[in-house]
Amino acid sequence: MEIDVVGRSWDLAKVLLNEANIRYNVTVTRPTKDFFKLEPEGYYVIRQQRLPDGTLDIRIAAKLLKEVF
């Protein structure tokens, strides 16, 4: 069964993957510079790739905070 979780919140994606009994690895990606502030919670899936052993490689990133001047 193929599940597309790209663009979904990580909390929801985790539930969907676990319900479907799909193995996955998770990597959190961050900006290379600390110029933009990140939300401490609320990660989103930005990439998924099926590995040869059937495991999904999942990349998640935090949402950027809005700054109001």
Q: Where are the domains positioned within the chain?
A: 10-64
How many angstroms from the chain centroid is the CA of residue 3? 14
pLDDT in tens, 9-28: 999 999 999 999 999 999 98
pLDDT, tens only, 42-60: 889 999 999 999 999 999 9
In angstroms, the CA 41 to CA 55 distance is 25
Q: Determine the Cα–Cα distance for residues 12 and 60; give it in Å rounded to an integer.
A: 12
Q: Which residues of 1-35 are buried (b: 16+ CB within 10 A; e: fewer)?
A: eeeebeebbbeebbeebeeeebebeeeeeeeeeee
CA distance 46 to 24: 14
